[in-house]
Amino acid sequence: MLLSEQTYKKIDREVAKFPPDQKQSAVMAALQIAQDETRWLPPEVMQDIADYLGMPAIAVQEVATFYNMYNTKPVGKYKISVCTNLPCQLSGGEKAAHYLKHKLGIDYRETTDDDLFTLVEGECMGACGDAPVMLVNNKRMCSFMSDDKIDALVEELKK
C-alpha cells in the first residue's frame, strides 16, 4: 500500500457512489485524492490506483495525462495555474503572468529552488469576468490578480 489509510478511506467513499462492478468510475476522484497526499502522480501511484480500482494502469494514465489538474511530473508545494486563454489575456492576464514569473524567478513549467511554487499555464476557468485569474493547487480560485494581489498571495503562501 503506497498511500495512507486515510487516503484509501476517502477513495472508498468515492467508490461507494458507484455500483460494485463500476469501481473504475471513481478514477478521477481517486487520482485527485491520491495527488492531495503525494503532490504528484508517479507511475507507481497510478499503478496502485489501477490495482485498487481493478482497471488497467494504462487507463489510469490516460485519465491522468488528459486533464491538466493532474500532476504527472513533480511540482512544488503550490502549483499556480495562470489562465492563458484569450479573454484573460485581453484583460491583463499576460501582464499578471509576467509579473508573477518575474517575482518567482521562474517560467511556466518550472519550480522555484525552495520547492514551494510551480507555475503552469491553465485553460479557461470559467471566470473570465474576473480576469486575470489564477488557480492554486486546482482548488483555490484567485480573481482580479493585480500586482498587489499577486504579492499578497505569494506572501501568504510562503508563511
Q: Smaller CB distance to ligand FES: residue 113 or 147? A: 147
CB of 69 to ligand FES, least distance (A): 15
Site string for ligand FES, 119-158 (x = CB under 6 A): -----xx-xx--x-x-------------------------
Q: What are the φ/ψ torsions at residue 73 (nearest 5 degrees)?
A: -130, 155
Given the rule CB under 6 A, which of 2-10, 31-39, 85-93, 109-117 is the region that contacts ligand FES? 85-93
Question: How far is the C-alpha of 30 from the C-alpha of 12, rounded, in Å?
Answer: 9
Q: Smaller CB distance to ligand FES: residue 51 or 123? A: 123
Question: How far is the C-alpha of 86 from the C-alpha of 69, rounded, in Å?
Answer: 20
Using CB under 6 A as the binding rule, whether residue 87 contacts ligand FES is answered as yes
Would you report the helix, strand and coil content of the chain in percent, each value rounded to 5? 55, 15, 35
Using CB under 6 A as the binding rule, whether residue 47 contacts ligand FES is answered as no
Peptide bond into 74 cis (omega under 30): no
Q: Smaller CB distance to ligand FES: residue 34 or 88? A: 88
Tell the burial category of 47 from Cβ atoms under 10 Å away from its Cβ (0-12, 13-18, 19+).
middle
Question: How far is the C-alpha of 87 from the C-alpha of 93, rounded, in Å?
Answer: 8
Among 25, 47, 72, 85, binds ligand FES (CB under 6 A): 85
Among 31, 88, 96, 100, binds ligand FES (CB under 6 A): 88
Tell the burial category of 80 from Cβ atoms under 10 Å away from its Cβ (0-12, 13-18, 19+).
buried
Q: How many residues bind ligand FES (CB under 6 A)?
A: 10
Binding site for ligand FES (CB under 6 A): 83, 85, 87-88, 124-125, 127-128, 131, 133
